[in-house]
Chains A and B, each alone.
Chain A
Amino acid sequence: MYRYDQYDQAIVDARVDEFRDQVERRLSGQLSEDQFKPLRLMNGLYLQLHAYMLRVAIPYGTLDSRQMRMLAGIARDYDRGYGHFTTRQNLQFNWIKLADTPDILARLATVQMHAIQTSGNCIRNISADQYAGAAADEVADPRPWAELIRQWSTFHPEFSYLPRKFKFAVIAAEEDRAAMRLHDIGIRLVTRDGELGASIYVGGGMGRTPMISHLVRDFVGSDDLMSYLEACLRVYNRYGRRDNIYKARIKILLHEIGADEYRRQVEEEFLLVKQLGIDPPRAELERITAMFAPPAFDPAAPDAVDRSDPDFAVWLDQNVAAHKQPGYAIVNVSLKPIGGIPGDADADQIALLADLGAAYSFDELRVTHAQNIVLPHVAKRDLYAVWRRLTKAGLAEPNLDLITDIIACPGLDYCSLANARSIPLAQKIATRFADRQRELGELKLKISGCINACGHHHAGHIGILGVDKKGTENYQLSLGGSGAQDVSLAKITGPGFSEDGVVDAIERVTDRYLATREPGERFLDTYRRVGFEPFKDAIYG
């Protein structure tokens, strides 16, 4: 894992001191809320419906046990005993007091964490494949590149006031586990003639105008990466629509001028930027890469797993993924117990995950964009012990990528921008389909409480959007989205539903799927084969 050097630590510590002073001035009344709001947002502190909310960055979703334990401690000492893992691999605390925030940030800084650039029109926390360093299908570990981008983008003066927020995702496998194509810039590491480089995709995003990114350059070598990204951002910074918040994201720029014209301008700018010498020497990427060296796997670790406990076998088949190292496996810890709150974990659960990471996963944990946790490097001989401990803590729901593994944003229970609640709906759906979920197979259901699409509903095999219909909650259903390598945007079915109505409508959709699917087809495959109409008929017919 990456370790801060003296510069990283110094800027994070300095930021804590600066914010402490700003908070004091706000509490004493020297600063008005209008003056203070941009300052607190730069430190991840939002004001939500019931309290302040602190969003803590988890760079590329990777953290160690000490950091995870710190999050548990903060939940316990400063919040109401829990946290919410988000689709951008971050953690949100829902009940933070303003006066405590500097102390919380100071504690986070002791474990090399912060809340910088988790809000505002800057380059946000870089997300990545949660299986990085463990996946059999990756060409390299994407995290050193993500870390390089983190360093380049941290406090980048030119990109602190972009037209709008800016989100990166970095992957290095064919399978896209990070919704890479739905980010402002998505990067896929590839090799060409034995050299590692990046394919650059630009202009994806969700929100009110969802778009899939365009391939802008198929190969950028590591010696040119920073210059190329700088050029991508400069063209956006120059032409992005600062006059209209709904048109300010880079996806709109690409849509308006076209990917070819954008590419032409980026290439032109790149030639200028390249002369500035901002690309770090290769030794820097090598220094970072060395910190992500594979852990000391036991080459003699046995591959066999005793499947005689049937409940364990179900979990094994659903939540455990193949590892590149023989004798090891990737464990997905579901934060989606049936009827629970998607993505929430209480302090004891977070602390347990920290312990399991330390004992069984070479001290590493990951947060996934589907709001689950990953133990990336578990020896197969330890799987049963890990499962037993997860089971006791209510963390062994065997539902990865099934209909009850729902992504849901906080919605109207917490969020001041929401139109409708997301969580109670997720709970109802999970409860309704719990006994059928395995029969239905892979089915990604995603719920957002408003058009901002924090819950990725555009990318759901089934997506649900909460809308406000004359003061009552209403839900729009959409079908056929995907955030994976087979990326697509979901299509709205028609008129919306009440909360119970939308659960019934989903049942009509899944019934139609079961009646029409061919052997081996997932819901999405059937949908793509037979098209939208049969499902629409099933819903409204």
Chain B
Amino acid sequence: MRLLTGNDLPTGDVVWWTGSGWSRHVEDAADVGQEGEAILRREEGARRVNVPYLIDAIATPDGPRPAHIKDRIRALGPTVRPDLTLRPADPAAGSWVI
């Protein structure tokens, strides 16, 4: 599957295109399929998300998982600071990243 991702303009947070908007959780990401380029251009024009780009991902029962390690780390947060990830209370939250 194909995902659209970028960084939120005011906060810099990593965000994922959900089909109707942007979410901080990769689990909410939608497969943009053939529409990717068009959504990317439209969102770039809206100027709310910085440098949006398309990536490959794998669909899993737990949600989409980016194919490249860089985007998996983006989805979670720094691997060396589990306390600063999106789910600091869950030690297994990043088990799929590396």
Contact = CB atoms under 8 A, between A and B. Distances in A.
Interface of A: 26-27, 29, 32-33, 47-52, 80, 95-99, 341, 412-414, 416, 418, 421, 423-424, 427, 471-473
Contact of B73 (A95, A413, A471): A413
Nearest to A96: B12
B80 A51 contact: no
Contacts of A99: 10
A95 to B, nearest CB: 8
Interface string B39-56: 000000011101100000
Contacts of B59: none
B12 A98 contact: yes
Given A26-B9, A29-B46, A47-B7, 7 more contacts: A32-B47, A33-B47, A47-B51, A49-B70, A98-B9, A98-B10, A472-B69
B42 to A, nearest CB: 14
Given A33-B50, A472-B69, A473-B69, A414 B12 contact: no
Contacts of A50: 12-14, 74, 77-78
Contacts of B81: 341, 413
Contacts of B12: 47-48, 50-52, 95-98
A80 B77 CA distance: 13
A474 to B, nearest CB: 11
B17 to A, nearest CB: 17
Contacts of A49: 14, 70, 73-74
Interface in B58-98: 67-70, 73-74, 77-81, 84
Contacts of A471: 67-69
Contacts of B46: 29
Nearest to B70: A412
Interface of B: 7, 9-14, 46-48, 50-51, 67-70, 73-74, 77-81, 84
Contacts of A33: 9, 47, 50-51
A98 B11 CA distance: 6
Most buried by A among B11, B14, B68: B11
B59 to A, nearest CB: 18
B14 A413 contact: no
A457 B78 CA distance: 22
A204 B96 CA distance: 42
B41 to A, nearest CB: 13
Contacts of A427: 80
A97 B11 contact: yes
A345 to B, nearest CB: 14
Contacts of B67: 471
A341 B47 contact: no
A32 B50 CA distance: 9
B6 to A, nearest CB: 10
Contacts of A96: 12
B68 A51 contact: no
Contacts of B14: 49-50
Contacts of B78: 50, 413-414, 423
Contacts of A51: 7, 11-13
8 contacts: A27-B10, A50-B12, A51-B12, A98-B12, A99-B10, A413-B78, A413-B81, A473-B69
A183 to B, nearest CB: 29
Contacts of A29: 46-48
B79 A413 contact: yes
A45 to B, nearest CB: 9
A421 B47 contact: no
Contact of B50 (A47, A80, A413, A423): A47
A51 B13 CA distance: 5
A510 to B, nearest CB: 24
A413 B80 contact: yes
Nearest to A473: B69
B80 A423 contact: yes
Most buried by A among B7, B12, B13: B12
A27 B9 CA distance: 7
B93 to A, nearest CB: 15
Nearest to A29: B47
A421 B79 CA distance: 9
A424 B11 contact: no
A41 B89 CA distance: 35
Nearest to B50: A33
Contact of A97 (B10, B47, B51, B84): B10
A32 B74 CA distance: 23
A50 B11 CA distance: 9
Nearest to B13: A51
Nearest to B68: A471
A80 B85 CA distance: 11
